[in-house]
Structure 1
């Protein structure tokens, strides 16, 4: 049983923003025929490079991932928070889908597939080195092939500039050393120019790129008659008088009837980088006009009529496996867990820090306000724990802990140093647990068939370049103790829960 979840489709030919109120960071999208496909940053999460599908740019579903595991295998056996897969670019050329993505500690890589569902090829290194980020390829009608990318100061020591290379038509190698074509240091007020997307329209080469930082920045567009410049630019989307902070980094997409649209993200702290859809048109001066005169729109007529109302699943009955909305914090092992008529997680040794737990199974917070409920059974010896967590730079969880004297229901929080009890009470081997998340990421952890709040409200926080995760886990503090935790269906509904026992 899959439960319906939030769609941005109003059902009357219009939509509301954000079209995806979840952490689909650094989105890039394309149209192939009447179908739209999107990918996004996945950072340390496994599987990586999610693939989403839509028929109207509003209703999206997850159809798979391009990366089953992260390489090098040994280095991603533990969570690499802030590392892994940064902003990718998705393109379709010569009958193949290609994703070029960066690992900021290793270089730029490309993977391809005939079908976006997969299988995808083993990633091939296109350019190695530290601090190479945000690549995007471009193929032109005259047979040219190019690649633009940015720089991460944390690894390369430089940023705020964009580099263009000539590329082989099959995207297997770069053909020159590259040249900086836009230097943000030379542009008044520019900082952190990054996230470029490369296009061609008529005689103009276009680079769409954000600047100013993810929380306060803007979206710019640059154009030149030569891929190596010189480029002229202007700001084409900014917050203005709206409540959409830092609108930038995304994709220009057209529809089959020729209308133009722009997908971009907005950083919302614990929710991560949520995705907005803006109308776009070309002004009389030849420059793109995005949103309402350069400011984001809250709602608009849909780009086109497509398939049924849909949104990525959050609920999961675990009847036929683990749904595609879930990811691990490192490359998984077969013994970590399985699902058929429920989810069973092995209680694996841990030092107790959920942020560094490879076998935490997590998903994006799926809406601004939502409720999550599940049933937990702990079948393990003393020192074993299992529960439902909200994990960012800080975290909290509710669940069961086996002690020498029996089983406790525990609510534990880590906001500064060590993880600490916020509530503890005797319990049975089975407990109904849940969390209600309210506006701004305020979390109330619950227990009982008739839910009652346990302990104080917890304020969720973002992680390293990602939003907080809704997670399930099972651990043990004793290497000699084994066992399992069984989770029943995870029920997720959008909206505020209302009153419950306090």
Structure 2
């Protein structure tokens, strides 16, 4: 029986995994998104449920973890999740550059949060002083010592992009580094050695890293040592996983940044990121989480101090590739539907899949379960460092149909409200209802530039909006929402797919938005702008081009 990669479709990069008994937990990078650090649970490695977030309270994300006005591609990078003596730990980096950045400012804050239950609540972040770089790892050794594994740029850097992995003991009582700092490895010669994880297996320590940057040359490399402080010897078969040798036509690229987990029966698997090759080697979902089996084999070189064979991890034995379809780790597990998203807002709490770009202002969204609606209060439009008035969920498939019904209040004068796809603050496709004269208009904009506009009948109150994507591009349409009418009327067709391709770091959000008309002056906004719009019947579904194993 097979499963389909990715196991977490949508923008879930930099996965880290841990096992507690028969339960698996995984955390991913979230960058500018709030809530941050999404945490999924599984019992079979292929069916995953979003159970919570490590950063789920506004108070966790103000200072020094600034997610209120964080810059694009800043925010939460490459976490590690581990379990030790009844407590879950997440260690990660927040990258924040102030708008008026002082000279010498360190943009990287490495911090720890803890929880007894991965669903939360999670603790306040505790920043680790004197820890440069990104992508920290935490390792609990059998002798009771706890180690911080970090990255930095060495002072004697041999070439641009060369990095180095370092190690130092961590005092959990004070959340501070202590003792000597050890410099472990500079990788195999690739750029940006980062994303370190340390494991102990077969009485040896293994240091696994990501190299080559998070693009086409991305790879997983491994070194090993008899002692945790080194010296580390490089696996002669490095890299243990990459897609850079498979050419530009392979279905996934940029595979790397992996984390290992051992099953209770002794088997091993790796979770890693990869980018679907939709067009130009990129995908609108950005980097997603994939699963590959792992075995251990001796190298027969006898290069350790005892002249005995060292065991090395072998990823995807027999192929060495992240496969689109692969054998399920647990054959009896039924596959859930991970490619659809439906919300009718019938419960008091907003679904965990809804997210924001940065910490939202108070009361941006309100669920109205009796009316089965989500109310969004009109506010700021999408923009750099702005907490825009929107809510979204991660796009899950390349070709899809995304729709929602928009309900207008009795007066509608000064807002732009609708649905859209948002990659970045300056990279988005929006379909927005607005009123410029006697009748409302429905406009489609790409990165703020208007592509098309349709005038609608006066007195319109309920409108079903739809964005679809297929091999011909994006298509925007609407229908006047009544019980007897569902005919879709096109606004624009065939917007080229490459207009919305990911900029590598993050993937698209399918969003509901309501912003005040940016052309209005502040006095008019405060006196006559509408306060909210409502949405209902949100649905995302893939079209039939998606591969199912």
Normalising to structure 2: TM-score of the pair?
A: 0.81
- When structure 1 is superposed on structure 2, of 237-246 and 138-147 the one drifting more is 237-246
List gaps (5 residues or longer) in structure 2: 96-106, 277-282, 300-310, 480-485
- Per the alignment, residue 353 of structure 2 pairs with 325
Corresponding position: 1:472 with 2:504: no
In structure 2, which of residues 117, 120, 123 is the aligned counterpart of residue 121 of structure 1? Answer: 123
Deviations for 1:213-248, whole angstroms, at most 9, x for unmatched residues? 222121111111122222122210122435331210
CA shift at 1:356, angstroms? Answer: 4.0
* Over 6 Å off, 4+ runs: none
| C-alpha distance in structure 2 between counterparts of 1:165 and 1:461, whole Å | 40
Corresponding position: 1:278 with 2:309: no
In structure 2, which of residues 147, 168, 171 is the aligned counterpart of residue 168 of structure 1? Answer: 171
CA shift at 1:497, angstroms? Answer: 9.1
Deviations for 1:275-321, whole angstroms, at most 9, x for unmatched residues? 11101000133111001343223322211257653355632112223
What does residue range 142-291 of structure 1 map to in structure 2 within 5 Å?
Answer: 142-151=143-152, 160-169=163-172, 172-176=175-179, 178-184=181-187, 187-188=188-189, 190-216=190-216, 217-233=218-234, 234-239=238-243, 240-241=245-246, 242-268=250-276, 269-285=283-299, 286-291=311-316
- Per the alignment, residue 6 of structure 1 pairs with none
Structure-2 change in CA distance of 1:204 and 1:98 (3 Å): same
Corresponding position: 1:450 with 2:487: yes
- Per the alignment, residue 62 of structure 2 pairs with 71
Deviations for 1:102-148, whole angstroms, at most 9, x for unmatched residues? 1132411100111111111111112356x621011111112221111
Structure-2 change in CA distance of 1:373 and 1:343 (3 Å): same
Deviations for 1:41-85, whole angstroms, at most 9, x for unmatched residues? 011101101110111100111011111132328953335321111
- Per the alignment, residue 27 of structure 2 pairs with 39
What RMSD in Å do the two structures reach over aligned CA positions? 2.6
Structure-2 change in CA distance of 1:80 and 1:362 (3 Å): farther
What does residue range 422-433 of structure 1 map to in structure 2 within 5 Å?
Answer: 422-427=452-457, 428-433=460-465
In structure 1, which of residues 395, 398, 406 is the aligned counterpart of residue 431 of structure 2? Answer: 398
Larger radius of gyration: 2
| C-alpha distance in structure 1 between counterparts of 2:268 and 2:346, whole Å | 40
In structure 2, which of residues 87, 91, 94 is the aligned counterpart of residue 96 of structure 1? Answer: 87
Normalising to structure 1: TM-score of the pair?
A: 0.88
Corresponding position: 1:81 with 2:129: no
Corresponding position: 1:314 with 2:345: no
Structure-2 change in CA distance of 1:496 and 1:413 (3 Å): farther
- When structure 1 is superposed on structure 2, of 294-303 and 23-32 the one drifting more is 294-303
- Per the alignment, residue 10 of structure 1 pairs with none
Structure-2 change in CA distance of 1:475 and 1:261 (3 Å): same
- Per the alignment, residue 334 of structure 1 pairs with 362
CA shift at 1:158, angstroms? Answer: 6.7
Structure-2 change in CA distance of 1:196 and 1:73 (3 Å): closer
| C-alpha distance in structure 2 between counterparts of 1:248 and 1:35, whole Å | 24
Q: Secondary structure at the match of 2:363?
A: helix
In structure 1, which of residues 474, 490, 502 is the aligned counterpart of residue 538 of structure 2? Answer: 490
Corresponding position: 1:364 with 2:394: yes
Structure-2 change in CA distance of 1:410 and 1:109 (3 Å): same
Q: Is the 8 A contact 2:32 2:73 kept in 1?
A: yes
Deviations for 1:427-481, whole angstroms, at most 9, x for unmatched residues? 42321101112369x4222212223432133332225721122111101124221
- Per the alignment, residue 3 of structure 1 pairs with none
Deviations for 1:175-221, whole angstroms, at most 9, x for unmatched residues? 1463331124xx44x11211111211132111111111222121111
- Per the alignment, residue 138 of structure 1 pairs with 139
| C-alpha distance in structure 1 between counterparts of 2:174 and 2:328, whole Å | 34
Q: Secondary structure at the match of 2:177?
A: coil
CA shift at 1:167, angstroms? Answer: 1.3
CA shift at 1:262, angstroms? Answer: 0.7
Q: Aligned residue pairs: how many?
A: 475
CA shift at 1:401, angstroms? Answer: 0.7
| C-alpha distance in structure 1 between counterparts of 2:373 and 2:271, whole Å | 36
| C-alpha distance in structure 2 between counterparts of 1:305 and 1:58, whole Å | 11
- Per the alignment, residue 7 of structure 1 pairs with none
- When structure 1 is superposed on structure 2, of 462-471 and 190-199 the one drifting more is 462-471
- When structure 1 is superposed on structure 2, of 293-302 and 308-317 the one drifting more is 308-317
Q: Is the 8 A contact 2:404 2:536 kept in 1?
A: yes
Q: Secondary structure at the match of 1:25?
A: coil
